Structure 1
Amino acid sequence: MTSNIFEINYNGTGKSQNTNALGMREMQARVYEKRASQYLLVKAPPASGKSRALMFVALDKLTNQGVKKAIIAVPERSIGKSFQTTELAQFGFFSDWVINPKNNLTNRGTSESKVSQFINFIRSTHPDDNIMICTHATLRFAFEKLNDSDFDKILLAIDEFHHVSQDDNSVLGNAIRNILGNSSAHIIAMTGSYFRGDSVPILEPTDEQKFDKVTYTYYEQLEGYKHLKSFAMGYSFYRGRYTDALSEVLDTSKKTIIHIPNVNSGESTKDKYDEVDRILEELGDAKFDENTGLWLVTEENGRVLKIADLVNEEGREKVQEYIRNMSELEDLDIIIALGMAKEGFDWPFAEYALTIGYRNSLTEVVQIIGRVTRDSSNKTHTQFTNLIAQPDAQDDEVMFAVNNIMKAITASLLMEAVLAPNFTFKRKDTDEQKSKGTDIFIKGLKEPSTERSKNIIQNDLNDLKATILQDTQIQQAIAAGVDAKVINKQLIPRVIMNSYPDLSNDETEEVRQHIVAQAVIQSAEREEGTNGNQFLRMANKFINIDEISIDLIDEVNPFQRAYEVISKEIDAPTLRFIQDYIDGIKFTFSEDELIMLYPQIVQFRTENGRIPDKSSHDQYEQRLAYALLRLEQLRRERDNG
């Protein structure tokens, strides 16, 4: 039985699918407004039309902005088809998007020959050599053979930009940094993810500040669909083999993508082919179709399911070819995959994603969700479900289970963040200032005092929220039920300081208040009061939206609900083990945290006339007390030097 962490309903306005006089959807028009930017970062969910948005901007740069060539780099060959020749003029734009077949390097060929073709394209003066599609790998290898200046007056568009990293070992990241710093290239970065799964930032803050940003949220995308009205994210625990639990979570009437567990995960049997066989056996009587490469599975009721196996390498090309060419609803029922059918994969009819075991990368979770959140006439609801091995407190590998639960909580919170509308918060100075729609007035809220903090608040809160949700200490605090004030006033500021080391204390606090306000408001359940006023349920009580203060917000843990939902399904001994483990590491401090906490300790002593007490029932005071003890220990170590 699947328990949903949340379900969100949408109004189906059709706005995100409608086009303007130039043939652009809402998101594409928003990007086109920024077409003059030399560096542009586009963050938008799958199916929002990022590839066509790039076409519009690239054609304008080639025609009107003095750019000589456009290079589009995609993470894998299959995604190259998104940028193939496309008719645009018939819908109102001034030109079509035309790719010379020899400049599409995502077709078959050796890596060495593609690098040579890339270099020849860069140096060619032929008028038809103005647009090229290649993979990230080809770009990396070619970059090592070129000078930074070879990219002068060239538009470099990086699709799925979250593959880039500022890590020293990231060749693609180094290439982007060098091209940014040492050439006159234009760069468009596109991603459907707000974060990398490995927590390594995509760009240095100083580099990212060079980019103009266009953000189009999941909420805007799904709210503007015509057919899809709701989306839910849930989980189900199992014991024993996951294949034995499939009947409880699978609805074969739904167009489904099943992702089996990574072979290195605890849920895997270590034999991926056997897992596919067992899934087929659970579904019915399976027969292989040589013509299509599909499995035809007859259920007990006589219905025949068409199933694509993307796990087995043998015959995969035939299956992929079938999937590429299918167009009708009845062409396919289920896909079974491991590393495929995620990023850039297009099956609009898909309405149910079943993922067995948690992935290391939360980016991967978002990408999988993106496969089923496309608008299609066959569905009004779409579902993402994680099937998870229930942890056993007696198991030596219980630590892995703890880690998986942390990922579950983080994933749920992330999706709550990106699926909710963005609010605009303003300081409330008079009773006449009333909240309306997404504009909310908050008593005591600090307004941004500098352009730097204002820019972060206006453009970076989703990114920052994703970074906060990936922070290990915050994940542990969520699961442990750590006091809201500790999370909001101590742990979150540390993440902000790490993300933006150039901020002053005042700027950090301004950003902190806005990020916490957004997290709290978005996670609160809205209900209408009997007197017609809008209320938010916060900390299990209803608060008039016009009475909210920043002090009240800091008392609310916006992350606790996800853990409470999951904890209902885990037995008491396991839950107690997890709680004890997390309590054991609750009060650890980095040097930066101690520096940040010291002013709070001083403020506490000033306000209360005593130092914080470690035996206090208030976790905020407890944490200050342990921080003070650690500071005193460090002082003694220094004095004894």
Structure 2
Amino acid sequence: MPDIVHFEYAQTGNSSRTDSMGMREMQARAYAARAEQYLLLKSPPASGKSRALMFIALDKLYHQGLKKVIVAVPERSIGSSFAPTELRKNGFFADWTPSDEYNLCTAGSDSSTGKVDAFKNFMKNGNEKILICTHATLRFATEGFPEKDFDDCLLAIDEFHHVSADESSRLGEMLRAIMAKSSVHIVAMTGSYFRGDSVPVLTAEDEAKFTKITYNYYEQLNGYKYLKSLGIGYNFYQGKYTSAITEVLNTDKKTILHIPNVNSGESTKDKRSEVDFILDSIGTVDKQDSATGVIYVRRKKDGKILKVADLVDDEPRNRNKIVDYLRKIEKPDDMDLIIALGMAKEGFDWPYCEHALTVGYRGSLTEIIQIIGRCTRDSENKTHAQFTNLIAQPEAKDDEVVVAVNNMLKAITASLLMEQVLAPQWDFKTKVSDDDEDEPGTIKIRGFKEPTSKRVKAIVETDLDDLKATILQDKTMQTAMPGACDPEVINKVIIPKIIRAKYPDLNDEEVEELREQVVVDSVIRKSTIETVKGEDGVDRRFIRMANKFVNIDDLHIDLIDSINPFQAAFEVLSKSVTPAVLKMIRETIESTRIEMTDEEALILWPKVQAFVKQNGKEPNIDSMDFNESRLAQCLIYLRKKKRERDGQ
């Protein structure tokens, strides 16, 4: 199947180049806000968040009067990102020197008395400045702990999307209490702020307290030295995934293969047998190194020896050996394939990885983005990175056809979001006259409402991708996107409804400004801009949006509102599955169609009239054309309303 998303990048080198203090572009941007009490750093995997935290923390210790720094990571392996680091040699004023005694990301239970006691001893020890622990240790250690003891401390939480505003989230509850009852400083870091569910990371009230520093995916990838392109694609299978895995697993590429969760429909329920099958499909196991845990497999096609890491085996002794080996990898030849289940996602560093192959639908956008981040690190051994999702397609005999279809739609939704966050950003302004020319990086649009309030401007600057994630995860939107709904209804009814739910504090004018920003940004990011020489010899810029090719000087908000910004991926999908499967998808979408509203009916009524005039008949509700069917539903809805109004 062709990639649904494919990007080419300029290899500018900007994201890896350092300044006079040894800071990369993202780190310098974060350091500029070092005086803020609450910082939320949203930056892609491999952009250098760990070192950015070191710079900020040391400034708070040396120059802002703070006494201690506590760094919390979701799992022990990520603690190595905060190991002692020489920063002075590159121009910074101090080195990062945590002690081994207070690095609690060591083997053993996070709930152990020893680690909890060590945490409490650190808080009492006036000489020690830095502690590194897991989220779990932080939760256990702070139970019954006075919040005031966090006065003059910096609490840094890595992979911040693990925090939740849900009442059952102990980490979120702990954080809210500390913020409310102490003078703590907080640096929250995440490579993905999308939770993939309906629970926000922070309440709107708490989130408003944070200064947000955003370094987007396009800035990161476009600024690499080696990586030139990224592809995101889907392959579909029927039956067991093991029968299809060899079609998408290319052992010439350095690959992380995530097998499905044992509780998912894609799993065979025997994870060990799945690993054995994958190894057998590659070739013959020669040996497993007893010291490192590396499995040596002789490939069938040419006899080449491949080095494989099995992270599915969760026996502590075996896992610790191979994890330790993976931490020390120094060159591409040290590993060829990693097979994992729950590990090797966030914070896992294997820069040589070229292909992230994931089996089964992943319900969390955060998880998908973290997995993609495993293969998008810059490395001299690759110019292209690839993410492939192997997912089950519905079968006519499948009783769970609705589940299968919904999973397909949600998986494609994730690629649509990645398509948005990985593309270059534009600034949009109102075009006032024909003489009003575009500026570099700016597109001017007639009728466009620019953000006027501070609140909307802040959302556009730092939260636009998060808002798009919310929109794309909405069930109504997911059934509307594939063409089952008129584009104007998507843009003018569904999207503003979602915006109002996410930001209830916005007034109608602010909602409209934000709606236009979302729609325009979504359409333009998907579009291509071309320069065409006219008959008069003058170069003019045209923009290709969906099936429209428009002079960029003639752009109007009404024209953009007539385009479904998310339909392209589904057009690729329709060419990549069988007609029978496509029919099932359409029927499933139809069965879960959104209900008609007065607002939608008013938009569709002129289109009903135009259809009747053009075709000499009313639209057919049973038409395979989604738009015609929806127009027919509109007509029925309006007739019912008329009968109710007339009292019949």
Q: TM-score, normalised by structure 1?
A: 0.92
- Quote the Cα distance in structure 2 between the aligned partners of 1:201 and 1:397: 29
Contact kept? 1:13, 1:223, Cα under 8 Å? yes
For 1:61, give the aligned amino acid. K
Residue 381 (structure 2) aligns with: 378
- Quote the Cα distance in structure 2 between the aligned partners of 1:361 and 1:104: 30
3-state SS of the aligned residue for 2:244? helix
3-state SS of the aligned residue for 2:460? helix
1:486 to 486, 489, 511: 489
Residue 395 (structure 1) aligns with: 398
Residue 457 (structure 1) aligns with: 460
- Quote the Cα distance in structure 2 between the aligned partners of 1:484 and 1:448: 23
Q: Greater shift after overlay, 530-539 or 402-411?
A: 530-539
1:548 to 555, 567, 572: 555
Mark the runs of 5 or more structure 2 residues left unpaired by the alignment: 610-617, 622-626
Q: How far off is 1:350 after superposition?
A: 0.5
Contact kept? 2:358, 2:390, Cα under 8 Å? yes
Alignment of 1:388-427 (within 5 A): 388-427=391-430
- Quote the Cα distance in structure 2 between the aligned partners of 1:460 and 1:622: 38
- Quote the Cα distance in structure 2 between the aligned partners of 1:141 and 1:630: 60
- Quote the Cα distance in structure 2 between the aligned partners of 1:338 and 1:152: 40
Contact kept? 2:40, 2:211, Cα under 8 Å? yes
Residue 306 (structure 1) aligns with: 307
Residue 275 (structure 1) aligns with: 274
Alignment of 1:498 with 2:497, yes or no, is no
Q: How far off is 1:74 after superposition?
A: 0.5
- Quote the Cα distance in structure 2 between the aligned partners of 1:204 and 1:10: 36
Contact kept? 2:10, 2:222, Cα under 8 Å? yes
- Quote the Cα distance in structure 2 between the aligned partners of 1:100 and 1:629: 75
Q: How far off is 1:473 after superposition?
A: 1.3
Q: Greater shift after overlay, 17-26 or 547-556?
A: 547-556
Residue 120 (structure 2) aligns with: 119
Q: How far off is 1:353 after superposition?
A: 1.0
- Quote the Cα distance in structure 2 between the aligned partners of 1:620 and 1:209: 40
Residue 53 (structure 1) aligns with: 52
Contact kept? 1:194, 1:466, Cα under 8 Å? no
Residue 230 (structure 1) aligns with: 229
Q: Greater shift after overlay, 474-483 or 84-93?
A: 474-483
1:339 to 329, 342, 345: 342
Q: Structure 1's 625 and 196: CA in aligned 2 closer, same or farther, altered over 3 A?
A: farther
Residue 260 (structure 1) aligns with: 259
- Quote the Cα distance in structure 1 between the aligned partners of 2:461 and 2:366: 23
Q: Structure 1's 629 and 67: CA in aligned 2 closer, same or farther, altered over 3 A?
A: farther
- Quote the Cα distance in structure 2 between the aligned partners of 1:381 and 1:435: 33
Residue 367 (structure 2) aligns with: 364
- Quote the Cα distance in structure 2 between the aligned partners of 1:4 and 1:606: 37
Alignment of 1:28 with 2:31, yes or no, is no
3-state SS of the aligned residue for 2:572? helix
- Quote the Cα distance in structure 2 between the aligned partners of 1:504 and 1:42: 28
Q: Greater shift after overlay, 333-342 or 387-396?
A: 387-396
Q: Greater shift after overlay, 284-293 or 221-230?
A: 284-293
Residue 612 (structure 2) aligns with: none
Contact kept? 1:39, 1:211, Cα under 8 Å? yes
Q: How far off is 1:606 after superposition?
A: 12
3-state SS of the aligned residue for 1:222? helix
Deviations along 1:371-430, one digit per CA (max 9) or x if unpaired, are 000000000111111112222132101122112111221111111011011111101111
For 2:406, give the aligned amino acid. N
Deviations along 1:269-292, one digit per CA (max 9) or x if unpaired, are 111111111111110111232333
- Quote the Cα distance in structure 2 between the aligned partners of 1:507 and 1:604: 25
Deviations along 1:124-170, one digit per CA (max 9) or x if unpaired, are 3x22x211111111111222221222211211111000111111111
- Quote the Cα distance in structure 2 between the aligned partners of 1:538 and 1:294: 50
Alignment of 1:468 with 2:468, yes or no, is no
Q: How far off is 1:601 after superposition?
A: 6.8
- Quote the Cα distance in structure 2 between the aligned partners of 1:269 and 1:608: 50
Q: How far off is 1:243 after superposition?
A: 2.5
Residue 355 (structure 2) aligns with: 352
Q: How far off is 1:565 after superposition?
A: 0.9
- Quote the Cα distance in structure 2 between the aligned partners of 1:133 and 1:327: 25
- Quote the Cα distance in structure 2 between the aligned partners of 1:295 and 1:332: 10
For 1:349, give the aligned amino acid. Y
Alignment of 1:65-144 (within 5 A): 65-110=64-109, 111=111, 112-124=113-125, 126-127=126-127, 129-144=128-143
Contact kept? 2:489, 2:603, Cα under 8 Å? no
- Quote the Cα distance in structure 1 between the aligned partners of 2:58 and 2:293: 40
Residue 450 (structure 2) aligns with: 447
Contact kept? 1:258, 1:334, Cα under 8 Å? yes
Mark the runs of 5 or more structure 1 residues left unpaired by the alignment: none
Contact kept? 2:608, 2:631, Cα under 8 Å? no
- Quote the Cα distance in structure 1 between the aligned partners of 2:28 and 2:249: 39
3-state SS of the aligned residue for 1:306? strand
Alignment of 1:216 with 2:215, yes or no, is yes
Contact kept? 1:219, 1:421, Cα under 8 Å? yes
Residue 511 (structure 1) aligns with: 514
Contact kept? 2:311, 2:319, Cα under 8 Å? yes
For 1:448, give the aligned amino acid. P
Q: Greater shift after overlay, 83-92 or 388-397?
A: 388-397
Q: Greater shift after overlay, 470-479 or 513-522?
A: 470-479
For 1:570, give the aligned amino acid. V
For 1:268, give the aligned amino acid. S
- Quote the Cα distance in structure 2 between the aligned partners of 1:272 and 1:508: 48
Residue 43 (structure 1) aligns with: 42
Q: Structure 1's 267 and 476: CA in aligned 2 closer, same or farther, altered over 3 A?
A: same
For 2:35, give the aligned amino acid. A
Alignment of 1:123-202 (within 5 A): 123-124=124-125, 126-127=126-127, 129-202=128-201
Q: Structure 1's 97 and 579: CA in aligned 2 closer, same or farther, altered over 3 A?
A: same
Residue 615 (structure 2) aligns with: none
Contact kept? 1:614, 1:626, Cα under 8 Å? no
Q: Structure 1's 619 and 396: CA in aligned 2 closer, same or farther, altered over 3 A?
A: closer
Contact kept? 1:243, 1:282, Cα under 8 Å? no
3-state SS of the aligned residue for 2:205? helix
1:562 to 562, 569, 572: 569
Residue 295 (structure 1) aligns with: 295
Q: How far off is 1:626 after superposition?
A: 8.2
3-state SS of the aligned residue for 1:569? coil
- Quote the Cα distance in structure 1 between the aligned partners of 2:350 and 2:244: 26
Q: Structure 1's 69 and 614: CA in aligned 2 closer, same or farther, altered over 3 A?
A: farther
Contact kept? 1:153, 1:185, Cα under 8 Å? yes
Q: Greater shift after overlay, 306-315 or 243-252?
A: 243-252
- Quote the Cα distance in structure 1 between the aligned partners of 2:645 and 2:200: 34
3-state SS of the aligned residue for 2:4? strand
Residue 5 (structure 1) aligns with: 4
3-state SS of the aligned residue for 1:4? coil
For 1:438, give the aligned amino acid. G
Contact kept? 1:486, 1:623, Cα under 8 Å? no
2:583 to 573, 576, 584: 576
Q: How far off is 1:237 after superposition?
A: 1.7
Q: Structure 1's 444 and 243: CA in aligned 2 closer, same or farther, altered over 3 A?
A: same
2:322 to 316, 319, 323: 319
Q: How far off is 1:621 after superposition?
A: 7.0
Q: TM-score, normalised by structure 2?
A: 0.91
Residue 250 (structure 1) aligns with: 249
- Quote the Cα distance in structure 1 between the aligned partners of 2:226 and 2:51: 22
Q: Structure 1's 137 and 624: CA in aligned 2 closer, same or farther, altered over 3 A?
A: farther
Deviations along 1:302-345, one digit per CA (max 9) or x if unpaired, are 21111111111242221112111221221111111111111111
Deviations along 1:100-128, one digit per CA (max 9) or x if unpaired, are 1111111124422212222222233x22x
Q: Structure 1's 167 and 630: CA in aligned 2 closer, same or farther, altered over 3 A?
A: farther
Deviations along 1:577-613, one digit per CA (max 9) or x if unpaired, are 2212222221337xxxx6xx66x7789999999xxx9
- Quote the Cα distance in structure 2 between the aligned partners of 1:622 and 1:48: 51
Q: Structure 1's 147 and 14: CA in aligned 2 closer, same or farther, altered over 3 A?
A: same
